Structure formats: structure tokens, C-alpha cells
């Protein structure tokens, strides 16, 4: 048996899982939370057993990784792990694909810290502690941004002075790349599309949401930009707003750009508009009871999503498949219905029964258009993509 260990580090959390490289089944998984703070703890799941253990107040990523090392040893997996795959949020324009981690790659991830000041430092901590704990294992970085590096200039540039791009790397990068790439490959398999001739829109709709236009396996455009704030209405992120709001708010509220950024990232979107929740389940229940904020928030999310889907056909020139994925895409059949209704003029016919049945891990076609192909639901699996990439990279060693 051989296994790949997957690490996904946040600033105060560490998610890990161990996947069987052949069967692609998750053997065990876990989540360390509140790292660096009070109540740092780790939850592990293995063979149906769930164990919550305290790591001790103030324990950080290092203690979490040490715990994982001991846990893997105790369960008898340690000797069979082939490599570690790390999710890394930002690879700037340096990484167009996943990379074997060496000092040069570490330096380049470090160089991208200004572009992702919250995420990349956490990813680096995860990699460095894993290198100490598992010095014998090859480690691979899988970047959220890499898939979108194929976007043409017209899609990735902002219409701002070019020196801001040249001197300060201000451009659109896009995120969720690992998910969009997984979905493109799964769509080709599921619908039997030609791997060299296909046009797909992947709609990853979760707490964070983005669309990607994918032509012949390459990302042509995506809705997130310099940061994950751009684009669709999300759980707590505003999506597109007029940047003129920033100066206006800083003047009338006497707050700085950091506070405005905080408002747009954490207090906006579904939560900001509904004044209730960022969770679609709560919002649909409230909307049914007549909560106006919830009704408007959901309407806005779906109306703006449909508008963006239409515009994302432009980079493709045609459309074979529109794929819904992510927590909302895979489960919220009412939102999918609203979006397909908005797109009715493209000739989509919704199969209501199929739509309502396609929840909780079920997959399948929910609508068809003679001209624009099929709309379907597929479950994304970023961890599986990380494992496949890690195996591809270490195969070249
Ligand atoms: P993240 O971006 O954090 O990975 P997910 O992809 O897990 O998020 O999506 C989480 C969101 O999915 C929830 O906030 C909720 O809005 C939505 N969601 C999950 N299950 C359902 C459901 N059964 N019905 C409607 N929405 C759901």
C-alpha cells in the first residue's frame, strides 16, 4: 500500500488527510484548530472513530504536525507514506503547475507573500514544519492560482496604468484553480467530451465562489482577480463593487483601507445584504418565512451569477457544459433553479425532478439546451487533485 499525505494550512488551522494512492480513498483525516491561541485542539477521524485532543494553549502548527506524526506512527501508516502534497494559495505568475518543493520553490512562495499576506505565510509554516517532521519525504506544492496562468493578457490585465502591473504585479490571478481543473477533467469524462475540443464553464459556489471559462483544458478567464474578493456575490465577500466606494467610505466614516477591505471581505455578500447569515440553508428557510433581507440576498446572488455565466461564454465562443459544484453548487437546488430560469433565453430546459434529486453528493445533468449543451452538478475534490498532482510530480524523480 502507498499513501499520500495532504496538508492544507490556514493561519490558525491545519487540515490533513491521508489518501490511498491506488484506490484514491481517504484513510484518515483531521483538523487542528485555534492554533497559536487558547484552546488549540486537533480532531482526527479514522475508521469511523472521531477523537478530539487538546494540543495545549498556545500550541501552533509545529505541535499539530508532531501530533499528526505520532498519530500516523501509532496507526501504522508512517512507513507507507510516499509524499506530502501541500495546498498553497498563491503562486503569483511564477507557478503554472504544481512543483516539487526545494529551496528555490520555497523562496518563490515567500516572494508571493505580499500577494496573499494571510495565506502564504501559513502555507510556508505547514511546509517547513512538515519538512522537519518528515525529512525523508518529497513534498509537492499545489497552487490555487496555477491553473489560471493560461489566461490571455486581455483577461488577466486590469485597465490601469501598465506600470502597476510591471512594477507591482497588479493583475488578475484567479483562485479555486485546483477545483476548476478537477471539474474540467471530470466533465470531459462524465459527458464524453473531446479532451482537445471542449468549452466548459465551471461554477465553484461555496462560501467563496468563482466561475472559470475553460477551453480545451485551459483556463481562459475567471471571476476572482488580484484577490478572491472580485467577481460573484459570496458568503461574506461583496464580489464586484465600484472601487470609488473605498475613497467615499474612508472619508465619511474616517476609516482606513484595511477596515474597508475587512468590511468587503467579511461583512458583505449574503451576510451583509441579508443582515442574517452567510449560509444559504439559513437564508432559504428565512426567505420562506418572509425575511426580506434573505430574499434579496439570494435573489442578488443568483441574478448576478446568471449575468456572469452569460458573459463567461464570450471567451469560449460556444458552450458544451455548465457545471455547478461547491457547497452551494452541489446542494442548493433552489439557487440552481433560479439561475437556470434566468438563463432560460439560452434555451435551457430544467429537469425539476433531476435538479431536486441532485443533492448531498449525487451528481448528474439537471438541464439541457440545444445550443449551449448541458447543465450538470459534479462534486469537486481538491484533495484528490492534490494527490494526483503529487504522484505526477514524484513520478519524475
Ligand atoms: P467553502 O468555500 O468554505 O469550502 P463550501 O463549498 O463547503 O464552502 O460551501 C459552504 C456553503 O454551501 C454553505 O455556507 C451553504 O451556503 C452552502 N450549502 C451547503 N449545504 C447546503 C444545502 N443543503 N442547501 C443550501 N446550501 C447549502
Residue 292 marked as a ligand binder = no
Tell me the percentage of the chain whose pLDDT exceeds 90.
Answer: 97
Q: Computed from CA positions of residues 122, 67, 387, 140, in that sequence, does the dihedral angle turn out positive or negative?
A: positive
pLDDT of 118 strictly over 90: no
pLDDT band at 42 (very low <50, low <70, confident <90, very high): very high
Q: What residue segments make up the domains of the chain, in order of their start?
A: 3-143, 193-382
Counting residues of the chain whose pLDDT is more than 70, the rounded percentage is: 100
Domains 3-143 and 193-382 share a fold: yes
Question: Is residue 162 over pLDDT 90?
Answer: yes
d(CA 330, CA 378): 7
pLDDT for the residue numbered 1: 83
Q: What string of H, E and C letters represents the secondary structure of the chain?
A: CCEEEEEEECCCCEEEEEEECCCCCEEEEEEEECCCCCCCEEEEEECCEEEEEECCCCCCHHHHHHHHHHHHHHCCCHHHEEEEEEEECCCCCCCCCCEECCHHHHHHHHHCHHHCCCHHHHHHHHHHHHHHHCCCCCEEEEECCHHHHHCCHHHHCCCCCHHHHHHHCCCCCCCCHHHHHHHHHHHHHHHCCECCECEEEEEEECCCEEEEEEECCEEEEECCCCCCCCCCCCCCCCCCCCCHHHHHHHHHCCCCHHHHHHHHHHCCHHHHHHCCCCCHHHHHHHHHCCCHHHHHHHHHHHHHHHHHHHHCCCCCCCCCEEEEEHHHHHHCHHHHHHHHHHCHHHCCEECHHHHHHCCCCCCEEEEEECCCEEEEECCCCHHHHHHHHHHHHHHCC
- Average the pLDDT over 43-61 and give the result: 93
Establish whether residue 279 lines the binding site of ligand 1, counting it when its CB lies within 6 angstroms of any ligand atom. yes
Active-site annotation, residues: 144
CATH 3.90.70.10 fits 3-143, yes or no: no
How does the average pLDDT of the chain come out, rounded?
Answer: 97
Q: Judge whether 281 is annotated as a binding position.
A: yes
Nearest CA among 278, 376, 380 for reference residue 319: 376
pTM: 0.96
Residue 222 has pLDDT above 90, yes or no: yes
User: What mean pLDDT is predicted for residues 182-203?
Assistant: 98
Read off the pLDDT of residues 338-362 as tens digits, 9 standing for 90 and up.
999 999 999 999 999 999 999 999 9
Q: Please give the pLDDT value at position 270.
A: 98
| pLDDT band with cut points at 50, 70 and 90 for residue 39 | very high
- Distance from residue 306's CA to the centre of ligand 1 (Å): 18
154 has pLDDT over 90: yes
CA distance 349 to 279: 28
Fold of 193-382: Nucleotidyltransferase; domain 5 (3.30.420)
- Name the residue at shortest CA distance from atom 19 of ligand 1: 327
Whole-number Å distance between alpha carbons of 353 and 316: 30
- Each residue's pLDDT tens digit, 226-280: 999 999 999 999 999 999 999 999 999 999 999 999 999 999 999 999 999 999 9
User: Among all chains, which residue has been given the C-alpha cell 450538470?
Assistant: 376
Pocket test for ligand 1, best of 87, 206, 229, 305 (most atoms within 8 A of CB): 206
* pLDDT tops 90 at residue 148: yes
Ligand 1 atom nearest to 280, measured from its CA = 16
Asked whether 270 lines ligand 1 (CB < 6 A), one says no
Amino acid at each position: 500500500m502507498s499513501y499520500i499525505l495532504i496538508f492544507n494550512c490556514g493561519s490558525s488551522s491545519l487540515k490533513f488527510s491521508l489518501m490511498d494512492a491506488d484506490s484514491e480513498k481517504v484513510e484518515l483525516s483531521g483538523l487542528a484548530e485555534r492554533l497559536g491561541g487558547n484552546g488549540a485542539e486537533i480532531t482526527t477521524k479514522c475508521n469511523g472513530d472521531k477523537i478530539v485532543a487538546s494540543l495545549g494553549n498556545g500550541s501552533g502548527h509545529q505541535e499539530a504536525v508532531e501530533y499528526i506524526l505520532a498519530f500516523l506512527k501509532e496507526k501504522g501508516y508512517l512507513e507507507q507514506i510516499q509524499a506530502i502534497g501541500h495546498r498553497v494559495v498563491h503562486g503569483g505568475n511564477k507557478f503554472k503547475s504544481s512543483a516539487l518543493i526545494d529551496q528555490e520553490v520555497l523562496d518563490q512562495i515567500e516572494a508571493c507573500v505580499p500577494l496573499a499576506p494571510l495565506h502564504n505565510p501559513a502555507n510556508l509554516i505547514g511546509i517547513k514544519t512538515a519538512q522537519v517532521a518528515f525529512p525523508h519525504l518529497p513534498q509537492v506544492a499545489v497552487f490555487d492560482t496555477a491553473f489560471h496562468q493560461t489566461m490571455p493578457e486581455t483577461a488577466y490585465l486590469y485597465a490601469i496604468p501598465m506600470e502597476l502591473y510591471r512594477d507591482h504585479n497588479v493583475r488578475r490571478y484567479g483562485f479555486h484553480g485546483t477545483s476548476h481543473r478537477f471539474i474540467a477533467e471530470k466533465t470531459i469524462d462524465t459527458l464524453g467530451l473531446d479532451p482537445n475540443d471542449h468549452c466548459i464553464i465551471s461554477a465553484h459556489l461555496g462560501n467563496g465562489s468563482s466561475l472559470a471559462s475553460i477551453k480545451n483544458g485551459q483556463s481562459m478567464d475567471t471571476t476572482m482577480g488580484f484577490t478572491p474578493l472580485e467577481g460573484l456575490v459570496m458568503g461574506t465577500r461583496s464580489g464586484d463593487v465600484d472601487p470609488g466606494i473605498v475613497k467615499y467610505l474612508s472619508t465619511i466614516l474616517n476609516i482606513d483601507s484595511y477596515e474597508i477591505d475587512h468590511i468587503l471581505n467579511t461583512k458583505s455578500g449574503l451576510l451583509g445584504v441579508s443582515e442574517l447569515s452567510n449560509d444559504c440553508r439559513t437564508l432559504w428557510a428565512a426567505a420562506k418565512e418572509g425575511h426580506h433581507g434573505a430574499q434579496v440576498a439570494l435573489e442578488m446572488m443568483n441574478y448576478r451569477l446568471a449575468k456572469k455565466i452569460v458573459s463567461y461564454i464570450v471567451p469560449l465562443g460556444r458552450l458544451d457544459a455548465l457545471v455547478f459544484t461547491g457547497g452551494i453548487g452541489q446542494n442548493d437546488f433552489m439557487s440552481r433553479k433560479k439561475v437556470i430560469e434566468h438563463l432560460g433565453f439560452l434555451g435551457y430546459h430544467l429537469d425539476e425532478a433531476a435538479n431536486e434529486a441532485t443533492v448531498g453528493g449525487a451528481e448528474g445533468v439537471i438541464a439541457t439546451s440545444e445550443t449551449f449543451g448541458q447543465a450538470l452538478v459534479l462534486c469537486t475534490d481538491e484533495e484528490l487533485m492534490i494527490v494526483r498532482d503529487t504522484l505526477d510530480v514524484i513520478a519524475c524523480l
